[in-house]
Amino acid sequence: MHTTDGSGRTDGAEGAPSGGPHEAKHARDAGRVGRRLRRALGQAIADFALIAEGDRILCAVSGGKDSFALHELLVELRARAPVTFEVVAVNVDQGQPGFPADVLPRYMAERGHDFVAVKEDTYSIVTDKVPQGKTYCSLCSRLRRAILYRVARERGCNKVALGHHRDDVLATLLMNLVFAGQLKAMPPKLVCDEGDIVVIRPLVYCAEADLAAFAAERAFPIIPCRLCGSQPNSERRAVGELLEALEARQPGARTNMLAALRNVRPSHLLDAGLWRALGLSVAADDPAPAPLPPPEAAAAPVLVPAARLAAGAPGAVVPATEDGGR
């Protein structure tokens, strides 16, 4: 196990654009992407009370664009948030052939981030246990999640932050609808079976395209996952292509789908148990309430409202029953 320790505090300030109109436009575009991501991150944290005073957060960093961006945004947030919390970056080297084990330790050490590298050969387990043609993601994610829980306990962390974003949430929603017969997406906050660690997903309102642009602007040393990438016919990939096609046919489709997940009308669903739990006997044929604005279109809030992040702030914690986390 390799560790480096440091303050890891950065202010995220952008340098003044220079070098001509093209460079200036690039800097403005990069600034807008960063502001959208910070606003969406702050909104999710506020909506679901994801971070509280004194939290010690294990941030899972796989080496992909999403986890790099999550770690960067959390470190920046820590420097300006109205509450005190810590961020520990953790990478699990799962034994994939050709994995560049030196990239993340060097990157984190150069920037003074608190970092832990763990090597566990789950690659051999996954490729041995999963039949040919079946997807690796479910077993791989469960094994990795168990390792993250263990490291979190060893490092005194009470929360684990994962890099799932808006497009992951929507893909999971469609996969559950089509393949599992459930109306279920990804919870922004869930508790492990033992009850001592809470998983948070601060990027659930963030668009994947914005994260890709942010990663390119920051020049993160991206490490591709050859295990997931080796399965071109996976259900998740197919659903992702469906979302792309919907977006091309109806621009803003993903934004509207996210808005729908924030604007649920239980009386217009066919779950009899839900009707009983809510005491419903008949649905009212009244106009639907105005939908919530998408996070990227909402007025910029205080990045992390103190009232919502105070210790003991209300926020439902969902049991850890969902699958497919990274």
Please provide the size of the chain in residues.
326
- In the predicted structure, residue 325 carries a pLDDT above the cut 90: no
- In the predicted structure, residue 316 carries a pLDDT above the cut 80: no
Read off the pLDDT of each residue in 268-279 and give the average, rounded to a whole number: 96
CA-based Rg of the chain, rounded to a whole angstrom?
A: 20
User: Quick one: pLDDT band at residue 234, thresholds 50, 70, 90?
Assistant: confident
Is residue 317 in a domain?
A: no
Range in 36-45, 80-89, 96-105, 289-298 the model is least confident about: 289-298
Is residue 209 in a domain?
A: yes
Which is nearest to 18 in space by CA: 27, 9, 10?
27
Top-confidence residue, 250 or 139: 250
pLDDT of residue 323: 44
Top-confidence residue, 125 or 284: 284
Is residue 15 in a domain?
A: no
User: Quick one: pLDDT band at residue 123, thresholds 50, 70, 90?
Assistant: confident
User: Quick one: pLDDT band at residue 139, thresholds 50, 70, 90?
Assistant: confident
Read off the pLDDT of each residue in 192-208 and give the average, rounded to a whole number: 97
pLDDT of residue 313: 39
pTM (predicted TM-score): 0.79
**Cβ partners under 8 Å of residue 284, min gap 6:** 267
pLDDT of residue 95: 81
User: Quick one: pLDDT band at residue 114, thresholds 50, 70, 90?
Assistant: very high
Top-confidence residue, 132 or 120: 120
- Range(s) of the domain holding residue 209: 2-6+21-279+292-301
Is residue 132 in a domain?
A: yes
User: Quick one: pLDDT band at residue 125, thresholds 50, 70, 90?
Assistant: confident
- In the predicted structure, residue 1 carries a pLDDT above the cut 70: no
User: Are 154 and 56 contacting, i.e. CB atoms less than 8 angstroms apart?
Assistant: no
Averaged confidence pLDDT in the chain: 82
Q: E strands along the chain, which residues? A: 2-4, 56-60, 86-93, 115-119, 159-161, 189-191, 198-200, 318-319
pLDDT of residue 318: 46
Is residue 306 in a domain?
A: no
237-248 pLDDT, tens digit per residue, is: 889 999 999 999
Count up the domains in the chain and report the number: 1
Query: Distance between CA 162 and CA 143 in Å, rounded?
Result: 15
23-40 pLDDT, tens digit per residue, is: 445 555 768 999 999 999
143-178 pLDDT, tens digit per residue, is: 889 999 999 999 999 999 999 999 999 999 999 999
- Percent of the chain with pLDDT strictly greater than 70: 74
- In the predicted structure, residue 302 carries a pLDDT above the cut 80: no
Which is nearest to 2 in space by CA: 100, 97, 119, 95?
119
Query: Distance between CA 302 and CA 316 in Å, rounded?
Result: 22
Indicate the burial class of 149 (C-beta count within 10 angstroms; 0-12, 13-18, 19 or more).
buried
- In the predicted structure, residue 100 carries a pLDDT above the cut 60: yes
DSSP state for residue 82 in the 8-state scheme? S
Is residue 13 in a domain?
A: no
- In the predicted structure, residue 282 carries a pLDDT above the cut 50: yes
pLDDT of residue 22: 46
User: Quick one: pLDDT band at residue 310, thresholds 50, 70, 90?
Assistant: very low
Which CATH number does the domain housing residue 265 bear?
3.40.50.620
User: Are 137 and 174 contacting, i.e. CB atoms less than 8 angstroms apart?
Assistant: no
State how beta strands 159-161 and 318-319 pair: unpaired
User: Are 254 and 239 contacting, i.e. CB atoms less than 8 angstroms apart?
Assistant: no
Q: E strands along 156-272, which residues? A: 159-161, 189-191, 198-200
- In the predicted structure, residue 15 carries a pLDDT above the cut 70: no
pLDDT of residue 94: 82
Query: Distance between CA 65 and CA 237 in Å, rounded?
Result: 17
Is residue 113 in a domain?
A: yes
Q: Which long-range contacts (CB under 8 A, 24 or more apart) does 181-188 make?
A: 183/269, 183/271, 184/322, 185/261, 186/322, 186/324, 186/325, 187/318, 187/322, 188/44, 188/47, 188/48, 188/50
Each residue of 264-285: b (16+ CB within 10 Å) or e?
eeeeeeeeeeebeeeeeeeeee
Is residue 245 in a domain?
A: yes
User: Are 188 and 41 contacting, i.e. CB atoms less than 8 angstroms apart?
Assistant: no
